[in-house]
Amino acid sequence: MVFSNKKSPNQPKKHVASYQTIEEVLTHASQSDDFITREEWQVAKQKLTMFYFESMIDMQKLPSHVLHPISKLTHYTFEQLKERLFTTEMKRCNTALEADEGLLKGSILLLVEESRKTSYLLVDLSHQEDREVTVPEIEFSVFGSKESFIETVEVNINLLRRRIPSSDLYMKKYTVGSHSKTDVYVVYCQSIANEENVATVQKRMSELDIDQIQDASMLLQVIEDTRSIFPQIIDTERPDRSAGALLEGKIVILTNGSPQALITPVTAFQFISAFEDYLLSWQTASALRLVRIMAVFFSIFATPLYVAILTYHPEIIPQDLFSSLVVSRTAVPFPPIMEALFLEITIELLREAGARLPTKVGQTIGIVGGIVIGTAAVEAGLTSNVLLIIVSLAALASFTIPVYRMGTTIRFVRFPFIIAAQAWGLIAIALVSIICMSHLLSLTSLGRPYMAPIYPFSFTDMKDSLLRLPQSMQGTRPRFLQTKRKKRPFNRHSKPKKDIDDGY
């Protein structure tokens, strides 16, 4: 498990800075050049001092929302300040922790000093630049919504609540990271989601002891069930896919600062499912899923089979094809394993370079670089044109997987198969396949079987795994989720249609 570094729930977590008093917080903060202290107001034996980080508050609103209203007051009481100041939130500050967190999240700390007492108030004037909701870049679809999550968690929550306007949608907030103090929301439908699943996620979130969480992908790595190359949580940028998962009984995790939502628990077959499948006819969606499944197997086994057959089993190649392979390899001085690794690594280099360069330059490098390097490698006798075609198709097949992390996994899983193919041929490929399948069967997602509905077998869940059956047959939620409400409302028997001439 990945929680070996966690403390028990009853043991307090260590924080970066432990302040005893609010004065210590202010003394420490004053060492930063963007921390401002203003002592400008004094009325009726009351003195008001203002503290804030100018980089964290909305400086344009400061004069009109805070400074000008304060100058008109005759007494600095909590009630008068709350009534006159134009702010979304104002509260009393009693502890050093509240003062520290408030200042760092964009609040103004007001110190009101009188002859016999001192009080602190926090006034929210936070400011952050929000990116506009744009078209999904990774999970683009022709049909359906053109909205995607952004880096502001409040906007992402709004996108979900607009799709599920129900009080049944529950959200639990956590602050993760002793340095980053990242807001993380666990979202679920209370009347649908399995209580054990919800409790497991909440337990893992509350036990996290980590210094920073800058993105949902970082959170994903520490809450997954097992340290495996195969992802056990789906990350998505689509609000519609997240809303659909919630209504199925799954749990969605939103992280402030990340445009990705995490969906759990999931099965391996849901990584080959795109949300667009539910917007197409069931026949088309089922055909596309079968194409993706075949693409996964082709991407993993095409190159290893080439190496194994040419090295150990040339007798199984048909005579007509064998002559073509011999001609293509006549000028190649390397064994098939070196030839295959050279092309596979070249493809990965081109993909990585294209991803790191600016968009237009990256596209040019990917297309032109692939053509130039491939043509030059064949003409120089470094590789055969047959293997070049196989490796290119295998790389292309891996990009048909809708979830990017699973596509990356598939591309790297083929390398152990290639090395095994060189060692013992088809027997080694079979052995590595058995090891890989055993590993997949042992995986879980939030304690639920990763290979459901194949293992354990569930005939009812087959309706939305390898294939997608008609909506009229989707009347129950997946069994592996063990949801509270098993059935979905659906009117199977619609009224018979009538022609115009039939009358009503």
- Cα distance between residue 140 and residue 148, in whole Å: 9
Average pLDDT over residues 297-307: 97
476 three-class SS: strand
Q: State residue 471's pLDDT score.
A: 86
pLDDT in tens, 450-477: 999 999 999 989 999 999 999 888 889 9
Q: Is the pLDDT of residue 488 over 80?
A: yes
pLDDT of residue 15: 47
Choose the weakest-confidence range: 42-46, 225-229, 279-283, 312-316: 42-46
How sure is the predictor about 2, in pLDDT bands with cuts at 50, 70 and 90?
very low
Q: Do the beta carbons of residue 100 and residue 19 sit within 8 Å? A: yes
Query: In this predicted model, what pLDDT tens digit does every residue of 392-404 receive, in sequence order?
Result: 999 999 999 999 9
Over the stretch 11-28, which tens digit does the pLDDT of each residue have?
434 444 578 899 999 999
- pLDDT tens-place string over residues 21-48: 999 999 999 999 999 999 877 887 888 9
Note the pLDDT tens digit of each residue in 55-80. Answer: 899 898 899 888 888 888 878 888 88
Mean pLDDT of all residues in the chain?
89
State mean pLDDT over 371-389. Answer: 88
pLDDT of res. 369: 78
What's the mean pLDDT in 383-387?
A: 92
DSSP 53-95: ETTTB-TTTIIIIIIHHHHT-SS--HHHHHHHS--S-EEEE-S
**CA-CA distances (angstroms) from residue 150 to 156, 158, 318, 326, 476?**
7, 11, 54, 54, 32
pLDDT higher than threshold 70 for residue 259: yes
**Among the listed residues 36, 32, 33, the one whose alpha carbon sits nearest the alpha carbon of residue 57:** 36
Residue 57 is predicted with a pLDDT of 92
Residue 8 has a pLDDT of 38
Instruction: Decide which of 44 and 105 is more confident.
Output: 105
Q: What's the rounded mean pLDDT across residues 196-212? A: 95
pLDDT for 6: 39
Q: Mean pLDDT throughout 369-373?
A: 81
- DSSP three-state, residue 502: helix
- Rounded to 5 degrees, φ, ψ at 207 are -90, -5
Q: Which of 125-129, 150-154, 209-213, 476-480 has the lowest mean pLDDT?
A: 125-129
Q: Give the pTM.
A: 0.86
Among 1-10, 269-278, 281-290, 363-372, which is the least confidently predicted range?
Answer: 1-10
The phi, psi pair for 391, rounded to 5°, reads: -65, -40
Residue with the two structure tokens 């991803």: 355
Query: Which residue, chain included where needed, has tokens 């060189």?
Result: 422
Q: Dihedral sign, CA of 479, 481, 484, 486?
A: negative
Per-residue DSSP letter, 487: B
Per-residue pLDDT, averaged over 337-352, amounts to 92
The band of 51, judged by pLDDT with boundaries at 50, 70 and 90, is very high
Question: What was the pLDDT predicted at 140?
Answer: 87
Who wins on pLDDT, 125 or 10? 125
The runs of H, that is alpha helices, within 380-425 are 385-398, 404-424
Give me 313's structure tokens.
Answer: 């089993």
* pLDDT tens digit sequence for 425-444: 999 999 999 999 999 999 99
Q: What is the largest CA-CA distance in the chain?
A: 104
pLDDT of 363 > 80? The answer is no
Q: Phi and psi (nearest 5°) for 252?
A: -115, 135
**pLDDT for residue 493:** 55
Q: What is the pLDDT of residue 4?
A: 38
* Greater pLDDT, 218 or 20: 218
- Binning pLDDT at 50, 70 and 90, where does residue 381 land? confident
Per-residue model confidence (pLDDT) at position 320: 85
